[in-house]
Structure 1
Amino acid sequence: MATTHIKRSTSASRLVNYAEKRAVKKDGLNLDIQYAKSELKQVRDVYGNPGKTQAYASRIAFSPVEFNPKDPHAQQTVLAVAKEVYAQAYPDQQVALYEHADTDSLHVHAVIGAINLETGQKMHGNWHQYRDHLVQITDQVCREQGLMVTKPDPNRHEKRTMAEIKLRAKHQPTWKDQIRQAVDHTMQNPLIRDFQSFQADLKQQAVKVWQRGKNLTYQLLGTNYKSRGAKLGLDYEKETIFNELASRQTQSKTNQQPKRAINATNEPAQSDPDRTPQLPGHSDSTASHGQNVAGSATATNRADRSTGQPPVSDDFKQLRRQQQQLTGPIKIDLTKRLRGLSKADQPDQSRKSDRTQTDPSRAGQNHPDHQPAQQPSEPNHSSNDGPNR
C-alpha cells in the first residue's frame, strides 16, 4: 500500500540537497544520480527555463505492514518499485530518487525536472492533475507487484501529515487543528452566508483567511503558521466553502419569497378618503371645492349626500375658516357705511312712509319684507350738494 504526493518548486538544487542528506539508497532516471544537480542545470540551460518552476518534488510512502524500514531487502524492493512508477509516469523527464528510512514507513523522495527531454517543453497543468496521474500509475504498479492498493476513504474530510498523526496520538493539539476548529465553528452559524462575513467571524477567532487563486489560505494571527485549505481537508477547500455559502444564500431567498407573497395577498385594498377630493379627475372634487370656498352649501344638501361620498377634507375646512376670518372685518365696515348712508336719506324715507300710511290700498303691497334692497356698491353722491328737492 503506497501513498503519493507532488508539488512544484522554484529550486531543483534545494530539493536535491534536502533529499540527498538522509538517503539510505538512491537512483536516477535519465540522469546520473551522482551529478543530479549539474545535469538538471545543463538541461535548463540548453532548452531555456522561462518562469520560476525548475522541478517538482514528489514522494511515495509505503506501509510498514508490508515493508520494514530497517530491512535492506525491503529497502531495495521499495526503491525498485518507486523507479518503475516514475518511469511510467514521466518517461521523458529527469528524475532523481532518494530513499529515506528515518520514519515508521519507507518512503522515496523524487526530484522531477520540469523540462521534457523530447520536446523541450515544461510541464503544464496543476498539481491536482499531476497527483491524480501519479496515483493511477502507483496503483497499477502495486497490483503488478502483488502489493496492497491504497483505497481512499470517501468520508475522509481532513488531511493530516505524519507529524500531526503522532501529535494527535499523544493528545497534543496542533495549530492546524486550531484552524479546523475555528472554521467548523464559523460554518455552524447559519447567518454566515457570504465570504465577507466568513472572514470577519474567523478573524474574531484569531484566524485570517484570504483567496489565493483556486485556494483558500488560513493563518493563525500573530504567527507564521499558515496552510492552504487543500492541506487541511476537503471541508476547508475553497470550492466546498463557497458552495455552502451560495447554497445558504439561495435558501434564504427561497424562504423570503413566500412571506412576501402572503403579505401581498392578505393586505386588503384600502383607499384614503381624505385624498379623494384632491384628485383632479374625481367627479366630486371640483363641486366640493367650489361649494366650500363660496360657502353656499346648506345643511340640507350635505345631509342629502350619499353615504359613499367621501367627507370634505380638513384642509378645505381650514381654508373656509380663514376666508370667514378675512371677510368678517370687511362685512362690518360695509355695514357701518350703509348705516351712514341711510341716515343721510332719512327725510326722504320718512316722507315715503307717510305716503304709504295714507294710502290704505297700497299698505299691503309695500311690506318691509318685500322692500327691494339698496345697492351698497353705488352710494348717493348727491348728498354732498345739499338736500334733494
Structure 2
Amino acid sequence: MATTHIKRSASASRLVNYAEKRAVLKDGLNLDVDYAKSQFKQVREVYGNQGKTQAYASRISFSPKEFDPTNEDDQQKALDIAKEVYQKTYPNQQVALYEHADTDALHIHAVIGAIDLETGKKMHGNWQEYREKLVHNTDEIVQKHGLEVTYADPARYEKRSMAEIKMQDRGQPTWKDQIRQAVDSTMSNPLIRDFQTFRDDLKQKAIDVWERGKDLTYQLTGTNYKARGKKLGTAYEKGAIYNELERRTRDQQRTISRDAKRRTKPLQRADKDRQSKDNRRTAKDKQRPTGQQQHVENPKRQPKPDRSRDYGPSR
C-alpha cells in the first residue's frame, strides 16, 4: 500500500538539498536530476515567473510488507513505480525523484517544479484536487503492479471532539453528524455545481450555510447549533466545497463543448464536400476554351405542319 503527500515550497533548492543527501537512488522527469537545482532555476528565468512558490514537495511511501528497504531490486522497483505515478500526474512539470531507505518503509521524495513547461504558467493551489489526482493515479498504478491501494482515513476528513467520540461509541448521533450527513447527501448530487444551488439544497434539509471569512458556517435551522467547516472536517471547509463545485462546472463546460463539436462535425463535413465539388467544377470550367458554351440549350420545338389541305376536310 502506498501513501502520498504534497505541499508547496518557496525554495526548490532547499527541497533538493534535503532529499539528495540521503538518496540511495534518484531519477528525473523533464530534467537531468544531477543538475536539478540549476535547471529548476533556468526554467523560472526563461519564463520570467519567479514568485513565492518555486516548487512542490511530494512523497510516496511504500509498505514494508511490500518492499524491503535493504533490497536493491525492491529499491529500483519502488522508484520505477513512483516515476510512473509522477509522469502520469505531472507530465508537463520538471520532477526530481530521490529515494530514501533510512526508515522501515521505502519512500520517494519528489520535487515538482511549479511551472508548466507547455504554458509557462504556474500550478495554482487547488490542493484537494491536486492531492486527489495524485492519490487516484497512485492507486491505479500500484494496483497494476499487484500492490494494495491506499484506503482513506476518515479521521483526516472529519474532526470530532471527545464528547462526539463517546456519543458515537454509544451509537448516539450528534447534531454535527446531522450537518455532515446533509452536506454529504447534497454533494453526492452531481447536479449541484454552484454555491447558490448548494445552499438551496441544504436549506431543504434544514441546514443553513453562509460564508464567513475564509470558511463556511453551518447551522441547524431554527436552533443555536452551528459550526465552522474546519470544526466538522476538511471535506466541509470552504476551499474543499468551492473547489469541487468549480471542478463540476469545468467538467460540464467541457462536456457541452465536446457535444457541440460532435454535432457540428457532420455539417462541417457536408460543407467541405460541397466546397470541394464547387472547386472541381470551377477548375473544369477554366480548362474549357474561351467562348465555348458551358450548357447546350434544348433546340426550340418546331410547330407541327398543317396537313389538313393534303387530306381534305375531316369527317
Distance in 2 (CA, whole Å) between partners of 1:248 and 1:105 is 48
Match of 1:292 in 2: none
State the secondary structure of the residue aligned to 1:147: coil
Match of 1:22 in 2: 22
Q: 1:125: Cα distance to partner?
A: 2.9
Match of 2:104 in 1: 104
Match of 2:142 in 1: 142
> 1:74 aligned to 2:74?
yes
> 1:83 aligned to 2:83?
yes
Q: 1:74: Cα distance to partner?
A: 0.4
Distance in 2 (CA, whole Å) between partners of 1:252 and 1:147 is 45
Deviations 1:273-301 (A, max 9, x none): xxxxxxxxxxxxxxxxxxxxxxxxxxxxx
Match of 2:223 in 1: 250
State the secondary structure of the residue aligned to 1:116: coil
Whether the aligned pair in 1 keeps the contact of 2:2 and 2:150 (CA below 8 Å) is yes
Whether the aligned pair in 1 keeps the contact of 2:15 and 2:57 (CA below 8 Å) is yes
Whether the aligned pair in 2 keeps the contact of 1:94 and 1:112 (CA below 8 Å) is yes
Match of 2:56 in 1: 56
From the superposition, tell whether residues 67 and 42 of structure 1 become closer, same or farther in structure 2 (CA, over 3 Å): same
Distance in 2 (CA, whole Å) between partners of 1:158 and 1:77 is 35
Deviations 1:188-238 (A, max 9, x none): 9xxxx9xxxxxxxxxxxxxxxxxxxxxxxxxxxxxxxxxxxxxxxxxxxx9
Amino acid at match of 1:60: I
Whether the aligned pair in 2 keeps the contact of 1:8 and 1:127 (CA below 8 Å) is no
Distance in 2 (CA, whole Å) between partners of 1:103 and 1:187 is 33
Q: 1:157: Cα distance to partner?
A: 6.0
Bigger mean CA offset, 119-128 vs 88-97 = 119-128
Q: 1:103: Cα distance to partner?
A: 1.0
State the secondary structure of the residue aligned to 2:23: coil
Deviations 1:18-45 (A, max 9, x none): 0001111100000001000000000000
Pairing 1:260-271 to 2, within 5 Å after superposition: none
State the secondary structure of the residue aligned to 2:65: coil
Distance in 2 (CA, whole Å) between partners of 1:143 and 1:187 is 34
Match of 2:170 in 1: none
> 1:46 aligned to 2:68?
no
From the superposition, tell whether residues 135 and 251 of structure 1 become closer, same or farther in structure 2 (CA, over 3 Å): same
Pairing 1:153-302 to 2, within 5 Å after superposition: 153-154=153-154, 184=162, 246-247=219-220, 250-251=223-224
From the superposition, tell whether residues 15 and 249 of structure 1 become closer, same or farther in structure 2 (CA, over 3 Å): farther
> 1:2 aligned to 2:2?
yes
- Long gaps (5+) in structure 2: 167-174, 176-211, 227-315
From the superposition, tell whether residues 152 and 44 of structure 1 become closer, same or farther in structure 2 (CA, over 3 Å): same
Distance in 2 (CA, whole Å) between partners of 1:157 and 1:45 is 39
Amino acid at match of 1:24: V
Match of 1:364 in 2: none
Deviations 1:96-151 (A, max 9, x none): 00000111100000000000111101112322211111001101111211111112
Q: 1:242: Cα distance to partner?
A: 6.5
State the secondary structure of the residue aligned to 1:121: coil
Amino acid at match of 1:250: T
Larger Rg: 1
Amino acid at match of 2:223: T
Percent of aligned pairs sharing the same letter: 65
Distance in 1 (CA, whole Å) between partners of 2:118 and 2:126 is 21
State the secondary structure of the residue aligned to 1:250: coil
Match of 2:133 in 1: 133
From the superposition, tell whether residues 77 and 93 of structure 1 become closer, same or farther in structure 2 (CA, over 3 Å): same
Q: 1:186: Cα distance to partner?
A: 11
Amino acid at match of 2:108: V
| TM-score when normalising by structure 2 | 0.52
Amino acid at match of 2:53: T
Match of 2:12 in 1: 12
From the superposition, tell whether residues 41 and 186 of structure 1 become closer, same or farther in structure 2 (CA, over 3 Å): same
From the superposition, tell whether residues 2 and 249 of structure 1 become closer, same or farther in structure 2 (CA, over 3 Å): farther
Amino acid at match of 1:76: Q
Whether the aligned pair in 2 keeps the contact of 1:16 and 1:111 (CA below 8 Å) is yes
> 1:123 aligned to 2:123?
yes
The count of corresponding residues between Structure 1 and Structure 2 is 181
Distance in 1 (CA, whole Å) between partners of 2:222 and 2:68 is 53
Pairing 1:344-363 to 2, within 5 Å after superposition: none
Distance in 1 (CA, whole Å) between partners of 2:156 and 2:225 is 29
Distance in 2 (CA, whole Å) between partners of 1:100 and 1:35 is 19
Whose relative contact order is higher, 1 or 2, with alpha carbons under 8 Å and at least 6 apart? Answer: 2
Q: 1:60: Cα distance to partner?
A: 0.3
State the secondary structure of the residue aligned to 2:18: helix
Amino acid at match of 2:113: G
